[in-house]
Amino acid sequence: MSDKLPRKLLSKAEWIALFRDGLHGGADAFARHVRKLAGRLGEADPEMVAALIAELGRNPALRSAFAPNPVDADSRLKLLRETWPVVLPVQPVWAPGVADALAHVVAEWQGAAKLREAGLSPTRSVLISGPPGVGKTLAASWLAMELNVPLFTLDLATVMNSFLGKTGQNLRLALNHAMATPSVLLLDEFDAIAKRRDDDSDVGELKRLVNVLLQAVDGWGGESLLVAATNHPDLLDPAVWRRFDLAVSMDMPEPAMTARFLAGHGLAGRDLDYAQRLVEGASFAHVERWLRMARKESLLRGTPLLQAMVGAVARDRHNMPEGKMSRDLKILALHREGKSAREIGREVGVSHPTVQSVLRRMREENGQE
């Protein structure tokens, strides 16, 4: 380590701002100043930067400031997307078994010191599987938020370098950085880089990545949690499964879960009952999109939220596979717009008694008659 530092790492005003923000709790501003200092110090004395990282390792914001995100050597693009701090607007909704498993992971990390004193370690790696839109990536965000550490997400588009051999090198750089920094590392679309090694459709380069991943999961440790998410668990190499400390399976939401999700977004009473009927069988991702569409219409046109949501669901499901739009949804949407049974019948192409029958049945199903 050099005993000589550059004469001017920071200006006088920058030094004052650094101390002010550090003393008075401006963590985000302090981290920005530290990043600037790290960039200038790193060029002059990398060993000193490494020593400072060791001292600041318990603070994820400062550690990431002194350990820059690795980049692809050719494109200079970052291999990891960093989210810090992680803030979720609403509490996620999961099945009891899933919620319990994730809560146990948090409890283990919060009691990591006690576990290590007994020769044990907290859960190092979690593999989450399930259909799209059920909350797999949200689970990684929630874990990072609860543990108060950054969330790193592997950027597959950047990692997959077109030059032979560079992809594996990029992957190692990204994994090593995340493992050395207190964080949650999310490997989304995990099946894209952890396919079965007997899959003849892939080139050798991708197959070699599986070996890199297996070695990384085997040796995962430090102050980081590895989370992998996949929509296609059947595509994963069998050797991957047994290397993860915990496997969590998520399914499409049950009606009670959907009701909790809608209630968390401000719906209540009869509006909640109608909305639950509308979105039955849909993933949380779809429901959230319909709510977002409805809020925009409600804000711009003054349409009641539920009426706007009925229209959003009807438009979005129109002509989708398996007849999800359904004549009944369109009838309900037009009814919520204030049209009479005769007007609805003419627009949908059915008799007005049929319209009345559909509306009566839907009210009965929602317990409103």
Burial of 57 (0-12, 13-18, 19+ CB in 10 A): middle
Instruction: Return the number of other C-beta atoms located less than 10 Å from residue 346's C-beta.
Output: 14
Q: What is the C-alpha separation between 353 and 365, in angstroms, rounded?
A: 18
Length of the chain in terms of residues written: 369
pLDDT of residue 145: 93
pLDDT of residue 194: 64
pLDDT of residue 111: 93
Q: What is the C-alpha separation between 240 and 236, in angstroms, rounded?
A: 7
- The tokens for 343 are 């007007």
Q: What is the C-alpha separation between 159 and 182, in angstroms, rounded?
A: 21
pLDDT of residue 122: 94
* Ranges of the chain whose pLDDT falls below 70: 1-10, 25-29, 31-68, 161-165, 192-208, 316-327, 329-330, 333, 336-337, 362-369
pLDDT of residue 15: 78
Q: What is the C-alpha separation between 57 and 233, in angstroms, rounded?
A: 35
pLDDT of residue 296: 93
pLDDT of residue 235: 79
Q: What is the C-alpha separation between 222 and 219, in angstroms, rounded?
A: 10
pLDDT of residue 203: 53
Q: Where are the domains of the chain?
A: 12-67, 82-249, 255-365
Helix intervals (H) in 5-59: 12-23, 27-44, 46-56
- Supply the CATH classification number for the domain 82-249: 3.40.50.300
Element at 128 (helix H, strand E): strand 125-129
Helix intervals (H) in the chain: 12-23, 27-44, 46-56, 60-66, 96-110, 112-117, 136-147, 156-159, 166-180, 204-218, 238-241, 255-264, 269-278, 284-301, 305-317, 327-336, 341-348, 352-365
Q: Give 145's strand partners.
A: none
Instruction: Return the number of other C-beta atoms located less than 10 Å from residue 194's C-beta.
Output: 25
Q: What is the C-alpha separation between 205 and 203, in angstroms, rounded?
A: 6
Query: 96-122: string of b/e by CB count within 10 Å (b at 16+)?
Result: eebeebbeebbebbeebeeeeeeeeeb
Query: Which residues, at least 6 apart from 60, have a Cβ–Cβ distance to it below 8 Å?
Result: 84, 148, 149, 150, 181, 182, 183
